[in-house]
A and B are shown apart, each in its own frame.
Chain A
């Protein structure tokens, strides 16, 4: 089994196609939509948690890539600017996914990007603008 959080960028021409439905029906993949929006006449964006058997997952991603969907891991799109982060920890109780964890000894805040659900709450709540969303 594999489960990953990914960001899909749909070109304009694919906006009308039932692509995620195909992932479920043809490749037997489970999906959990975390975020979706469409910029009219430009592109669509979908943040998904996608799970399934390793081989099916690989084939599903291959299908997406082949039809022209750009696929990238979510961790690449939500990043922490370590130069600006002061490790204050105000983000810790704000994050609904528990992606920020305080190290008990040093009190440094670890960002576990694999837990991130791309809600963006930390981006607005961070007083030093250390959290960045790029998608």
Chain B
């Protein structure tokens, strides 16, 4: 039994497509078997809502009179520096950018109350942002200074463009040292005081498509409450990692680069985020629809938390020093039970990724498809799989001798 995306889209247009979430397919496959489930179900929707640091947005603010060339100059949105190394009035705001005068970790742990991620949230929420820019002035762009309020409804383009989102699996972070540490995985209490993880597990997009057989460049997705697209593999893409029998990687592996029109997104799905002692980021809502083209794809989507595994990593020493070797493997079912065993100790778990929000995203996407508002896109190219030999390399440092 095979289906094509075209056939599924015809059913969606007629309102006849059977769409279920990645949670619901588990029961269907268990009760009716994968073969029947694959015949019955046309689309499985996934979802994830967690902090994703490699996120940002570009804006074209429009030309002032007289004109100014921000390229090569400096610009700030709500005191957050934005990247200006493009043409005259294009800027890029990154989620982790901080005000020049933020004390950062000088007063430890830093509070990081407002950064690039918060600017993106304010922008999407329709709030006015203060733009302050300086430039060097040219014959065709004579102006050297600009101070103005801007609003998303007035700028030309506002595009969310995230180079790495929706990581396919992630480490469980713990702290073996005797002092509290502050990381991108949250505050970690000393002597294995807590274990933090960050994945929607059985609802996570790429854990439901472990070999990237349904997701590729051009896949239309739920992004930040609106519609977006997968545009490339995410940075640090690493498909050639150890995998379980069900195909899912047991370490961080694939990721998605995603893009979409920020003007149709919603602030509740793009939330400015602070990691105490670490910095700012953006919590992003993503949902990927998986077309059930055959039994194999259906089997992948029926994966459960007890079949998804990840590594426990010490963030006081092993992670910062790039030392190999974890502290063991746990399943997402164990993580969600509220405690795991590490080195013989019972450690309470905390999640950075919101499962209730992931469920909500998968349900919203399901409704969009069922109503015929959202058609699936045939990828123009699939993402590199384990057979590609594509790997994630560390930096090879070469000393610069003067």
Q: Which residues of A contact B (CB under 8 A)?
A: 83-84, 86-94, 102, 106-108, 124-125, 127-129
CB distance from B77 to the nearest CB of A (A): 19
Q: For A128, list chain B residues within 8 Å (CB).
A: 271, 273-274, 283
Task: Report whether B351 and A90 are in contact in the complex, using a CB–CB cutoff of 8 Å.
Answer: yes
Q: Are B338 and A102 in contact (CB under 8 A)?
A: yes
Which residues 299-358 of B sit at the A interface, judged by CB distance below 8 A?
336, 338, 348-357
**Complex contact B356–A106 (CB within 8 A):** yes
For B352, list chain A residues within 8 Å (CB). 88, 90, 127
Taking a contact as CB atoms closer than 8 A, the residue among B271, B283, B350 that contacts A89 in the complex is B350
Choose the segment among B3-11, B35-43, B186-194, B363-371 that binds chain A (4+ C-beta atoms closer than 8 Å).
B186-194
A-B contact pairs, 7 of them (CB 8 A): A83-B268, A87-B357, A88-B352, A88-B357, A89-B354, A89-B355, A93-B350
Whether the pair A87, B355 counts as a contact (CB closer than 8 A) is: yes
Question: Which partner residue on chain A sits nearest B49 by CB separation?
Answer: A86
Per the bound structure, the CA–CA distance linking A41 and B363 in Å amounts to 55
Partner of A107, one of B189, B273, B356: B356
**Which chain B residue has the least Cβ–Cβ distance from A109?**
B356
Chain A residues with CB under 8 Å of B338's CB are 92, 102
B196 an interface residue at 8 Å Cβ cutoff? yes
Check A84–B271 contact: CB distance below 8 A: yes
Q: Which residues of the partner chain A approach B353 to less than 8 Å between Cβ atoms? A: 88
Distance A124 CA – B356 CA, assembled complex (angstroms): 22
Distance in angstroms between the alpha carbons of A129 and B273 in the assembled complex? 8
A87 to B187 Cα, complex, angstroms: 17
Given contacts A90-B351, A92-B350, A107-B356, contact A125 B187 (CB under 8 A): yes
Q: B355 — nearest CB in chain A belongs to which residue?
A: A107
Contact A124 B350, beta carbon cutoff 8 Å? no
Q: CB-CB < 8 A to B276: which residues of A? A: 124-125
The residues in B between 235 and 255 inclusive whose CB is less than 8 angstroms from any CB of A are none
- B51 contact set on A, CB distance < 8 A: 127
Chain A, Cβ-Cβ closest to B111: A124
Select from chain B the residue with minimum beta-carbon distance to A123: B276
Residues of chain B with a CB closer than 8 A to A89's CB: 350-351, 354-355
Residues of B within 8 A of A (CB): 49-51, 109, 111, 113, 186-187, 189, 193-196, 268, 271, 273-276, 281, 283, 336, 338, 348-357
Closest residue of chain A to B121 (Cβ to Cβ) is A128
- Tell whether, in the assembled complex, residue A94 and residue B356 are in contact, meaning their CB atoms are under 8 Å apart: no
- Report how far A124 CA is from B336 CA in the complex, Å: 23
Residue of chain B at shortest CB distance from A90: B350
**In the complex, what residues of B have CB within 8 A of residue A106's CB?**
356
Instruction: Contact check, A93 vs B336: say whether CB atoms are below 8 A apart.
Output: no
In the complex, chain B residues whose CB is within 8 Å of the CB of A86: 49, 271, 283, 354, 356-357
Chain A interface SS verdict (over half): loop
Bound Cα distance from A90 to B275, whole angstroms:
11
Asked whether, in the complex, the Cβ of B49 is within 8 Å of the Cβ of A93, the reply is: no
A87 lies within 8 A of B354 (CB): yes
B271 A93 Cβ-Cβ under 8 A: no
Interface centre among A89, A91, A124 (most CB of B within 10 A): A89
List 5 additional A-B contacts (Cβ < 8 Å) besides A89-B350, A92-B348, A127-B273: A90-B350, A92-B338, A93-B349, A124-B109, A125-B186
B387 CB to nearest chain A CB (Å)? 35
CB distance from A68 to the nearest CB of B (A): 35
Nearest residue (CB) in B for A83 is B268
Whether the Cβ atoms of B193 and A93 lie closer than 8 Å is yes
| A108 and chain B: residue at smallest CB distance | B356
Whether the Cβ atoms of B50 and A88 lie closer than 8 Å is yes
Contact B355 A94 (CB under 8 A): no
Residue among A88, A107, A108 with the most chain B CB within 10 A? A88
Which residues of chain B have C-beta atoms less than 8 A from A107's C-beta? 336, 355-356
Distance in Å from the Cβ of A22 to the closest Cβ of chain B?
38
Complex CA gap A124/B281 in Å reads: 15
Q: Once the chains are docked, how many angstroms separate the CA of A87 from the CA of B350?
A: 11
Complex Cα–Cα for A86 and B356 (A): 8
- For B49, B51, B111, B350, the residue with the greatest tally of chain A CB atoms inside 10 Å of its CB is B350
CA distance A107 to B332 in the complex (A): 13
Write out the residue numbers on chain A whose beta carbons fall within 8 Å of the beta carbon of B356. Answer: 86-87, 106-108
Q: Which of B50, B113, B348 contacts A93 (CB 8 A)?
A: B348
Interface centre among B194, B349, B355 (most CB of A within 10 A): B355
Q: Are A88 and B187 in contact (CB under 8 A)?
A: no
A90 CA to B352 CA, complexed, in Å: 5
For B187, the chain A residues whose CB sits under 8 A away are 94, 124-125
Q: Smallest Cβ distance from B180 to chain A, in angstroms?
A: 10
The 3 closest A-B pairs by CB, nearest first: A93-B194, A93-B348, A86-B354
- Measured CA separation A93–B188 after assembly (Å): 10
Q: Chain B contacts of A87 at CB under 8 A? A: 354-357
CB-CB under 8 A from B189, the residues of chain A are 93-94
How far is the CB of A80 from the nearest CB of chain B, in Å? 14
Contacts of B49 in A (CB 8 A): 86
